C-alpha cells in the first residue's frame, strides 16, 4: 500500500494512526503539532520525540504561521498531475514554533517568493482527507 | 598518521550508456565486473574473501549470500550498503575497515547499475525512473507531506539548497553554470563520458530550460546505465598487484536526515563532519590534495561540498569557483573524468566513478587527462538529498 492519487492523479497524503491527528485537525482548519514536555514542538508526527525518545508528548494547536526557510519554483512538474499547475512554488516552512515542514505555496505570485517571506497555513480538502498548503500571510 | 591498512589494487568500469545494449541480471553483471577488476589488479579470484554490494535485483533479500554463491566466493565479510549516491564510497571504507580489523583480506566492491533482461525477451534496457524514490512506501513520512506537496525526485530538493545559499551568501547563477561547463570540458578528454564530443559553455547552461529555480537542465546529471568495481586488499597483496597501490588513508561518514525538509541546516551539510573526520584520520592538509573528486549530481552539490569539505570557507564558494579553473589542466583539478555532470550518472556506478577516476589518477593511467603529479586525492559520495555523506582521502603508495 503506497501513495494514493486523486482522480486527477495528484498524490494524496498517506495518513496512518500516528499522523491522523494532524490531518484530522487540518480538516478543522487547525495546524496540530506534537509537543514534548522537555524538548518542545516537533514535526513531522512521530511515535516518540526525536530528541529524547520520550512518548509523553501531547498534540497542541500551533499557530500555523511561519516563514520561508527555502523554496524552489518547480517549472517541470515532477509529479505528472502537478505538471498542469506549473510553475508552482514548494517551500520549506520554518514554523514559528521552530520545526520545519514542506508544503506547496498557494494564492501567491511564484516570482515573488523569497526566503523569509511570512506564511500561514492554507487548507484544501481533497478526496478522503485534507492537504496543508501555505500562502503569504 | 595516515592509515595504510588497506589499498585499492584494481578496478573495472563500463562506459555509461543512456540505453543499455545488453541487459543482464545484477549477478551476471557482478560476475563480469569481478572478473574484469581482478584481471586489472592481477589478483586471483581465490584470494577474494569479502564482498560489498548494493542491491541485487534478482535477490531483494539475502543479496550478499546470493552474490557469494553466484561468484563462488567463500566470504568472511559480506555486506549490502544502502547509502544512495554515497553507496560506493561507503563500500570502500567498509572494505578497508574490515581488512584493517582482520575480518578479511581481499574485498570486491561491486556496483552493477544495469537493467535486467525483460521476461518478454526485449533486449534494449530503458530507464524506468522511480520518481518518488521509495518515499511512497506505506508509513513513510515523505508520503504524508513531501510527496503531496510535489517535493519528489531530487532536483527540487537540491534547488532549495541553492536558493537558501543565494539568500544567505549571494550567488550568481553563472557561477553554478561554470561548474557544469568545466565538468563538460573534462568530459571531452574522457571517451567513455556520456557527453564526450559535446562541450558546452556557461552561456549554454544559462540558456537551458529552468527545471526548479535556480537549477537549469544542464546543471542536472543525466541518468544512465553502467557498472564498476574495485578490488580492495591488504598492503602486502596490493604491493604484488599490477598497479600502484592506492591506500585508503582516511575516511569519514555522516548522516543527519533523509528528506531535505528536515536537514538541520541546508548550508551546514553532513559532508563537513565526514570530511573533517577523513582529513584528520589521513593527517593531511587540503593544500596537499592533488585532485578533488566530489559527487556532483547537481552543480550546487559541488559548491556546497567544496565549502563544507573545507577547500574554501563558508560563503566563499562563489569566489572560489570564479577564481579557479576546475578543469583537469587547470589550477584546481576537479572531477577530471568529467564528473557525473559530464560522464553520466549510472546509479551506484556513477558514484563509484569519482573513486575509479581518483584511483586512475593516482596510478598514472588517466590517459589523455593524467595529472603531472598525483599522490593524494579527495573523493566523496553524496546520497539522497545531500543526506548520506562519505568522504575519502586516497593516497598513492
Note the pLDDT of residue B1.
57
Residue B223, CA distances (Å) to B18, B85, B113, B154, B348 in order: 7, 12, 11, 12, 11
Q: Residues in chain B whose beta carbon is closer than 8 A to a beta carbon of chain A?
A: 131-132, 136-141, 143-153, 155-156, 159-161, 163-164, 167-168, 209-213, 215, 259-262, 266
Using the beta-carbon criterion (under 8 Å), do A74 and B143 form an inter-chain contact?
A: no
Give tens-digit pLDDT for B114-141: 998 888 776 566 666 678 888 888 889 9
- Which residue among B138, B164, B168 places its CB closest to the CB of A2? B138
Using the beta-carbon criterion (under 8 Å), do A75 and B152 form an inter-chain contact?
A: no
Strands in chain B per DSSP E = 7-13, 50-53, 77-80, 106-113, 210-212, 215-216, 226-233, 246-255, 291-293, 376-383, 388-396
The conformational region for residue A54 under phi > 0 = left, psi -120 to 50 = alpha, else beta, is beta
DSSP B65: H
As given in the structure block, the three cell numbers for residue B33 are: 565486473
Residues whose CB is less than 8 angstroms from the CB of residue B336 and which lie 6 or more positions away in sequence, other chains included: B186, B189, B291, B293, B328, B357, B361, B366, B369, B371
Residue B347, CA distances (Å) to B88, B222, B335, B340 in order: 10, 10, 17, 10
Cβ atoms within 10 A of the Cβ of A69, count? Answer: 23
Measured CA to CA, the distance from residue A54 to residue A77 in angstroms comes to 39
Measured CA to CA, the distance from residue B123 to residue B24 in angstroms comes to 9
Note the pLDDT of residue A1.
53
Is the pLDDT assigned to residue A82 strictly greater than 60? yes
Cβ atoms within 10 A of the Cβ of A114, count? Answer: 11
Residue of A nearest to B134 (CA): A2
Q: Residues in chain A whose beta carbon is closer than 8 A to a beta carbon of chain B?
A: 1-3, 10-16, 19, 44-45, 69-79, 82, 88, 90, 92, 100-104, 114-116, 131, 133
Note the pLDDT of residue B174.
98
Measured CA to CA, the distance from residue B383 to residue B345 in angstroms comes to 13
SS3 A69: strand
Measured CA to CA, the distance from residue B1 to residue A131 in angstroms comes to 55
- Which residue among B136, B161, B259 places its CB closest to the CB of A2? B136
Note the pLDDT of residue B122.
65
Q: How many angstroms away from the CA of A38 is the closest CA of chain B?
A: 19
Residue B200, CA distances (Å) to A91, B179, B317, B334 in order: 31, 11, 22, 17
Cβ atoms within 10 A of the Cβ of B372, count? Answer: 6
- Please return the burial class of B306, using the count of CB atoms within 10 Å of its CB with bins 0-12, 13-18 and 19+: buried
Q: How many angstroms away from the CA of B147 is the closest CA of chain A?
A: 7
**Runs of H (alpha helix) within B42-172:** 63-71, 87-100, 141-144, 146-149, 155-169
In this prediction the pTM is 0.96
Taken in order B299, B300, B303, B307, the sign of the CA dihedral is negative
- Pair A125, A12: CB distance under 8 Å: no
- Pair B131, B270: CB distance under 8 Å: no
Residues whose CB is less than 8 angstroms from the CB of residue B377 and which lie 6 or more positions away in sequence, other chains included: B289, B290, B291, B292, B293, B358, B361, B362, B393, B394, B395
User: ipTM for the complex?
Assistant: 0.96
Is the pLDDT assigned to residue A117 strictly greater than 70? yes
Using the beta-carbon criterion (under 8 Å), do B145 and A2 form an inter-chain contact?
A: no
SS3 A27: helix
Note the pLDDT of residue A129.
86
Residue of B nearest to A19 (CA): B144
As given in the structure block, the three cell numbers for residue B3 are: 592509515
DSSP B190-225: -TTSTTTT----HHHHHHSPEEETTEEGGGB--B-B
The tens-digit pLDDT sequence of chain B (397 residues) is 578 999 999 999 999 999 998 889 999 999 999 999 999 999 999 999 999 999 898 999 999 999 999 999 999 999 999 999 999 999 999 999 999 999 999 999 999 999 988 887 765 666 666 788 888 888 899 999 999 999 998 999 999 999 999 999 999 999 999 999 999 999 999 999 999 999 999 999 999 999 999 999 999 999 999 999 999 999 999 999 999 999 999 999 999 999 999 999 999 999 999 999 999 999 999 999 999 999 999 999 999 999 999 999 999 999 999 999 999 999 999 999 999 999 999 999 999 999 999 999 999 999 999 999 999 999 999 999 999 999 999 999 9
Confidence band (pLDDT; 50, 70, 90) for A10? Answer: confident
Place of cell 580492495: B232
Note the pLDDT of residue B127.
64
- Which residue among B145, B147, B164 places its CB closest to the CB of A44? B145
Query: Number of helices and strands (H, E) in chain A?
Result: 1, 8
End-to-end Cα, chain B, rounded Å: 14
Place of cell 589542466: B329
Note the pLDDT of residue B119.
81
Q: How many angstroms away from the CA of A29 is the closest CA of chain B?
A: 16
From B230, B202, B231, B255, select the one nearest B85 (Cα to Cα). B255
Show residues of chain B in contact with A78, CB under 8 Å: 131, 150, 152-153, 155-156, 212
Note the pLDDT of residue A8.
81
- Which residue among B139, B147, B211 places its CB closest to the CB of A75? B211
Q: How many angstroms away from the CA of B177 is the closest CA of chain A?
A: 18
Using the beta-carbon criterion (under 8 Å), do A70 and B167 form an inter-chain contact?
A: yes
Q: How many angstroms away from the CA of B57 is the closest CA of chain A?
A: 20
Show residues of chain B in contact with A70, CB under 8 Å: 160-161, 163-164, 167, 266
Residue B171, CA distances (Å) to B80, B105, B174, B184, B221 in order: 39, 47, 8, 21, 21
Cβ atoms within 10 A of the Cβ of B313, count? Answer: 10
Note the pLDDT of residue B128.
67
Give tens-digit pLDDT for B302-350: 999 999 999 999 999 999 999 999 999 999 999 999 999 999 999 999 9
As given in the structure block, the three cell numbers for residue B27 are: 549477478
From B349, B87, B382, select the one nearest B226 (Cα to Cα). B349
SS3 B243: coil
Using the beta-carbon criterion (under 8 Å), do A73 and B213 form an inter-chain contact?
A: yes
Mean pLDDT of A5-10: 83
Amino acid at each position: 500500500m503506497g501513495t494514493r492519487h486523486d482522480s486527477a492523479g495528484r498524490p494524496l497524503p498517506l495518513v496512518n494512526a500516528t499522523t491522523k491527528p494532524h490531518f484530522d485537525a487540518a480538516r478543522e482548519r487547525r495546524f496540530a503539532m506534537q509537543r514534548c514536555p522537555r524538548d518542545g514542538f516537533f514535526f513531522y508526527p512521530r511515535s516518540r520525540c526525536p530528541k529524547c525518545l520520550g512518548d509523553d508528548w501531547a498534540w497542541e494547536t500551533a499557530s500555523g504561521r511561519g516563514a520561508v526557510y527555502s523554496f524552489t519554483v518547480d517549472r517541470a512538474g515532477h509529479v505528472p498531475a502537478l505538471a498542469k499547475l506549473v510553475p508552482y512554488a514548494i517551500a520549506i516552512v520554518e514554523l514559528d514554533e521552530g520545526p520545519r515542514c514542506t508544503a506547496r505555496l498557494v494564492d501567491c505570485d511564484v516570482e515573488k517568493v523569497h526566503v523569509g517571506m511570512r506564511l500561514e497555513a492554507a487548507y484544501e480538502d481533497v478526496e478522503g482527507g485534507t492537504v496543508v498548503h501555505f500562502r503569504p500571510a | 598518521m595516515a592509515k595504510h591498512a588497506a589499498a585499492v589494487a584494481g578496478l573495472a568500469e563500463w562506459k555509461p550508456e543512456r540505453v543499455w545494449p545488453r541487459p543482464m541480471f545484477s549477478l551476471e553483471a557482478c560476475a563480469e565486473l569481478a572478473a574484469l577488476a581482478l584481471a586489472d589488479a592481477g589478483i586471483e579470484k581465490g584470494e577474494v574473501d569479502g564482498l560489498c554490494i548494493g542491491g541485487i535485483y534478482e535477490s531483494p533479500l539475502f543479496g550478499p549470500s546470493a552474490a557469494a554463491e553466484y561468484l563462488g566466493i567463500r566470504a568472511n565479510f559480506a555486506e549490502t550498503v544502502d547509502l544512495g549516491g554515497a553507496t560506493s564510497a561507503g563500500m570502500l571504507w567498509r572494505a578497508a575497515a574490515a581488512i584493517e580489523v582482520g575480518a578479511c583480506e581481499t574485498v570486491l566492491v561491486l556496483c552493477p547499475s544495469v537493467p535486467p533482461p525483460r521476461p518478454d525477451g526485449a533486449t534494449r534496457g530503458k530507464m524506468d525512473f522511480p520518481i518518488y524514490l521509495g518515499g511512497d512506501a506505506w508509513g513513510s513520512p515523505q508520503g504524508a507531506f513531501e510527496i503531496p506537496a510535489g517535493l519528489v525526485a531530487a532536483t527540487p530538493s537540491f534547488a532549495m539548497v541553492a536558493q537558501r545559499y543565494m539568500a544567505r551568501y549571494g550567488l550568481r547563477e553563472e557561477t553554478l553554470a561554470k561548474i557544469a561547463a568545466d565538468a563538460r570540458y573534462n568530459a571531452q578528454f574522457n571517451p567513455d563520458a556520456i557527453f564526450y564530443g559535446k562541450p558546452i559553455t556557461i552561456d549554454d547552461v544559462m540558456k537551458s530550460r529552468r527545471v526548479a529555480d535556480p537549477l537549469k537542465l544542464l546543471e542536472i546529471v543525466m541518468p544512465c546505465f553502467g557498472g564498476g568495481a574495485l578490488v580492495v586488499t591488504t598492503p602486502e597483496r596490493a604491493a604484488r598487484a599490477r598497479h600502484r597501490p592506492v591506500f585508503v588513508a582516511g575516511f569519514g561518514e555522516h548522516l543527519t536526515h533523509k528528506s531535505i525538509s528536515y536537514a538541520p541546516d541546508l548550508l551546514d551539510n553532513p559532508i563537513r563532519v565526514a570530511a573533517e573526520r577523513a582529513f584528520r584520520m589521513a593527517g593531511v592538509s587540503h593544500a596537499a590534495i592533488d585532485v578533488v573528486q566530489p559527487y556532483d549530481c547537481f552543480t550546487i552539490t559541488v559548491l556546497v561540498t567544496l565549502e563544507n569539505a573545507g577547500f574554501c570557507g563558508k560563503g566563499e564558494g562563489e569566489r572560489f569557483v570564479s577564481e579557479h579553473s576546475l578543469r583537469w589542466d587547470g589550477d584546481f583539478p576537479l572531477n577530471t573524468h568529467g564528473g557525473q555532470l559530464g560522464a553520466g550518472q549510472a546509479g551506484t556506478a556513477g558514484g563509484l566513478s569519482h573513486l575509479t577516476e581518483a584511483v586512475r589518477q593516482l596510478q598514472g593511467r588517466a590517459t589523455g587527462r593524467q595529472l603531472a603529479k598525483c599522490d593524494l586525492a579527495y573523493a566523496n559520495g553524496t546520497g539522497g538529498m545531500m543526506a548520506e555523506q562519505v568522504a575519502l582521502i586516497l593516497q598513492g603508495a
